[in-house]
C-alpha cells in the first residue's frame, strides 16, 4: 500500500512514567505492539504484554500511530507520529506533515546488528513503515513502524 495522508508529529519532554503511560493509553489504541531497546538487547513484544519501562528507549505502535520514548534519568521524552490530529498532552512539532505508507520486512532472526538477535512470531505481525515528510522541506524526518491493517 502506497498511500499518502496528513500526518501529525508532537512531543513531550521531561515526563514521568505515569504521564508516559497516560500518553500511550490516550494516543495509541490497543492492541499495540512494543519494540523495546536496551544497550545489550532488543525485544519485540506482542499485544497484551505489560510495558517494561526499564528499557532505555522504546516504542509502541498500531496501524495509525507510533509513540516513541527515551529515558533520561527518571524522566522520559516522547515523540508521537500519528495519522490522528490529537496532540492532547503533547506539543505539536512543525507545521504540516505528510505521512506516506510503505511496505517493510523483518530482518532475519540471525541478523548480527542486534546483540542477542531479535525473536518474533513470524506469522503474528504484518509490519510496515510510515514516512513522515516535513511539507516545508519535502524531507523525510521520521520513519515510524506500523501494523498493516
For the chain, how many residues are written? 149
Mean pLDDT of 123-128: 74
Q: What is the pLDDT of residues 72-91, one digit of tens each?
A: 999 999 999 999 998 888 99
What share of the chain has pLDDT > 70, as a percent? 85
Choice between 66 and 3, residue whose per-residue pLDDT is larger: 66
Rounded Cα gap, residues 112 and 117, in angstroms: 7
Q: What is the pLDDT of residue 125?
A: 72
- Specify the residue for cell string 495522508: 5
Q: Is the pLDDT of residue 32 over 50?
A: yes
Q: How many domains would you assign to the chain?
A: 1
Residue 48 banded pLDDT, cuts 50, 70, 90: confident
Residue 1 has pLDDT above 50, yes or no: no
| 23: helix, strand or coil | helix
Instruction: Kindly state the average pLDDT of the residues 18-46.
Output: 91
**124 pLDDT more than 70:** no
pLDDT at 117: 60
Burial code of 89-120, b = ≥16 C-beta within 10 A, e = fewer?
ebeebeeebebbbeeeeeeeeeeeeeeeebeb
Residue 84 belongs to domain spanning: 4-147
Instruction: Tell me if 16 sits within 8 A of 76, measured CB to CB.
Output: yes
Asked if residue 112 has pLDDT above 70, the reply is no
Amino acid at each position: 500500500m502506497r498511500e499518502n495522508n496528513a500526518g501529525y508529529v508532537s512531543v513531550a519532554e521531561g515526563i514521568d512514567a505515569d504521564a508516559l503511560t497516560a500518553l500511550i493509553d490516550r494516543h495509541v489504541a490497543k492492541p499495540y505492539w512494543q519494540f523495546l531497546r536496551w544497550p545489550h538487547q532488543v525485544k519485540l513484544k506482542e499485544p497484551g504484554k505489560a510495558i517494561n519501562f526499564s528499557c532505555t528507549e522504546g516504542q509502541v505502535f498500531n496501524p495509525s500511530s507510533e509513540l516513541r520514548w527515551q529515558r533520561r534519568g527518571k524522566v522520559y521524552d516522547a515523540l508521537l507520529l500519528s495519522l490522528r490530529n490529537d496532540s492532547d498532552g503533547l506539543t505539536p512539532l512543525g507545521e504540516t506533515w505528510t505521512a506516506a505508507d510503505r511496505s517493510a520486512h523483518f530482518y532475519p532472526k540471525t541478523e548480527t546488528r542486534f546483540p542477542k538477535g531479535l525473536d518474533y512470531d513470524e506469522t503474528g505481525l504484518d509490519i510496515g513503515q510510515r514516512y513522515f515528510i516535513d511539507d516545508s522541506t519535502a524531507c523525510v524526518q521520521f520513519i515510524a513502524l506500523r501494523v498493516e491493517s
